[in-house]
Amino acid sequence: MDKHLQKPKIHKIETVARSRLFNVESVDLEFSNGARRIYERMQPSGREAVMIVPVIDDHIILIREYAVGIEDYELGFPKGLIDPGEDILEAANRELMEEVGFGARRMEILTKLTLAPSYFSSKMNIVVAQNLYPQRRQGDEPEPLPQVRWPIAEMMKLLNEPDFREARNVSALFLAHAWLLQR
Amino acid sequence: MDKHLQKPKIHKIETVARSRLFNVESVDLEFSNGARRIYERMQPSGREAVMIVPVIDDHIILIREYAVGIEDYELGFPKGLIDPGEDILEAANRELMEEVGFGARRMEILTKLTLAPSYFSSKMNIVVAQNLYPQRRQGDEPEPLPQVRWPIAEMMKLLNEPDFREARNVSALFLAHAWLLQR
């Protein structure tokens, strides 16, 4: 397969808009065929994130969290940014304690996903957490996150739930399902 | 399952940053327990997108496209925004013609995915395209998109490719695989 594509040359990167959370950059690009484009993207932050599929008693645990982009609650797996100094599994365990009230004695990283890489640099590490024990840590959630325990035997039926629709959640479901089947 | 969560009350929505492509809004929210937060999100556009899994001769077709967010090429399925006046399948067929050089006589919508709904309203419709015929339409790509034909029989091995990492592509791969297996 052709892995030797010649990357465009970046002539200039400029910040064109800035808010508390977002920095929008314009990137002046010249493709190898001479085509010139100005693209916009979010400034790469370098911080990765984790999404955790917690397994307990033949069930997986999901949460319902308010998502202001769609002004509705979404069903999905606990997740969050990796803090400076944390590694992937430390962050996964902390988020699990904050959002679900469990720690995990066994965790495995399944993969690292990107998200609309034409605009964002963000990377999401998918982690399966097993051998859970009750352990609550205070997070910054504005309200408690309702939990759902879903039987592993019927895991793929989650795809029929109208509020289980997020691409990283859907990917994590399939990846965790394949991983659990192999065990 | 608790589907009756009481949504936060939105007190105020303000544009806080604006560029050519992006409008950042701040949203002043009050959760049902009284907690108050100011969140930021991208202004909802109402425009959905399509991602197409094209099937030809026991293979699926993928493309390599430059993604400025990660400053690298990504392997994935053709995709694009639905234009005003188009329905999902019209847009899917147009994007297929522009990015891959085929039209499709048979298409089926598998699902609609969201993408980081805490920040974005975007919806991506996943479409399988079959019964392809050569038909090229001019798109706005800066350079030709190299194509890869991948055997359906080894479809899931795409997960081992380091440049096949995008959450919507991974979801579309699993969904199309499950759909094709049922046929």
Asked if A121 has any chain B CB less than 8 Å from its own CB, the reply is: yes
Nearest-neighbour CA in chain A from B67: distance (Å):
4
Question: pLDDT at residue B2 above 60?
Answer: no
> Distance between CA B51 and CA B125 in Å, rounded?
6
Nearest by CB: A166 against B40, B114, B142:
B114
Chain B CB contacts of A138 below 8 Å: none
Q: Is the model's pLDDT at A80 over the cut of 60?
A: yes
Mean of pLDDT values over B143-172: 97
Looking at beta carbons, which residues of chain B come within 8 Å of A66? 5, 7-8, 31
Structural Rg of chain A based on CA atoms = 19
pLDDT at B71: 96
CATH superfamily entry for domain A49-181: Nucleoside Triphosphate Pyrophosphohydrolase (3.90.79.10)
B182 touches chain A (CB under 8 A): no
What average pLDDT does this structure show over B68-87?
A: 97
Q: Provide the pLDDT for residue B5.
A: 84
The string of pLDDT tens digits covering residues A125-134 is 999 999 999 9
Q: Is there a contact between B35 and A143 (Cβ–Cβ < 8 Å)?
A: yes
Task: Tell me which residue in A35, A41, A68 faces B41 most closely, judged by beta carbons.
Answer: A68
Of A18, A65, A167, the CB nearest to B113: A167
pLDDT over 70, % of chain B: 98
Q: Which of residues 43-72 of B touch A (CB under 8 A)?
A: 44, 64-72
Higher pLDDT, A157 or B139: A157
Q: Is B69 in contact with A16 (Cβ distance < 8 A)?
A: no
Residue B105 CB: number of other CB atoms within 10 A? Answer: 10
Please write the tens of the pLDDT for every residue from B3-61: 568 999 999 999 999 999 999 999 999 999 999 999 999 999 889 999 999 999 999 99
- Would you place residue A1 in the very low, low, confident or very high pLDDT band (cuts 50, 70, 90)? very low
Residue B1 pLDDT more than 60? no
**Whether B69 and A33 lie within 8 Å, measured CB to CB:** no
**Domain boundary assignment for chain B:** 9-43, 49-181
Per CB-CB distance under 8 Å, the chain B contacts of A32 are 143
What's residue A172's pLDDT? 98
Query: Could you tell me if A22 lies within 8 Å of chain B, comparing CB atoms?
Result: yes
Q: Residue A183: pLDDT above 70?
A: yes
3-state percent helix, strand, coil for chain A, nearest multiple of 5: 20, 45, 35
Facing A2 at nearest CB: one of B36, B72, B146: B146
- The confidence band for A3, taking pLDDT boundaries of 50, 70 and 90, is low
Minimal Cβ distance to B40: which of A19, A39, A120:
A19
For residues A92-106, give the mean pLDDT. Answer: 97
C-beta atoms of A168 and B116 within 8 A: yes
| Closest listed residue to residue B86, CA positions, set B113, B128, B50 | B50
Long-range contact pairs involving B154-161 (C-beta distance under 8 Å, separation at least 24): B155/B60, B155/B180, B158/B62, B158/B75, B159/A111, B159/A175, B161/B75
Which residue's entry shows tokens 């496209």?
B65
- Is A125 in contact with A78 (CB distance < 8 Å)? no
